[in-house]
Amino acid sequence: MSDAPKQRVALVIGSGGLKCAAALGTWRRLTEAGIGIDFVVGCSGGAIFGALVALGFAPEQAVKTAMLAWKSDVTSQVNYRDIAEMALPKWLKFSERFGIFRDAPILRGFEAAYGKFTMFEHTRIPFHVVCTDLLTGEPVVITRGRLVDAVRASAGIPLLFEPREVDGRLLVDGALSDPLPVDVAVRAGADLIIAVGFETPPQKDVRTVGAYAMQMFSNMTNQLLAYQFASASLMHHAEIITIVPPFEYNIGLNDVAKIPFIIEQGALAVEPHLDYLKRLLG
Please say whether the structural domain 9-273 has been given the CATH code 3.40.1090.10: yes
Contacts of 212 (CB under 8 A, 6+ apart): 206
d(CA 96, CA 46): 25
pLDDT tens by residue, 198-246: 877 666 676 676 666 667 666 666 677 666 666 766 665 669 999 999 9
For the chain, give every domain's residue range: 9-273
Q: Concatenated DSSP letters for 59-112?
A: HHHHHHHHHHHS-GGGG-SB-HHHHHHHH-HHHH---TT--SB-SHHHHHHHHH
Asked whether residue 2 carries a pLDDT value surpassing 70, the answer given is no
Active site residue 173: yes
Q: Which of 15, 38, 44, 178 is catalytic?
A: 44
pLDDT tens by residue, 88-104: 777 777 778 888 899 99
Q: How confident is the model at residue 1 (pLDDT cuts 50, 70, 90)?
A: very low
Nearest to 16 by CA among 228, 238, 223, 175: 175
Q: Which of 38, 133, 149, 173 is catalytic?
A: 173
Residue 232: the pLDDT is 63
Active site residue 44: yes
Contact 166, 142 (CB under 8 A): yes
32-41, 120-129, 174-183, 201-210: the lowest-pLDDT one? 201-210
Contact 171, 153 (CB under 8 A): yes
- For the whole model, what pTM was predicted? 0.89
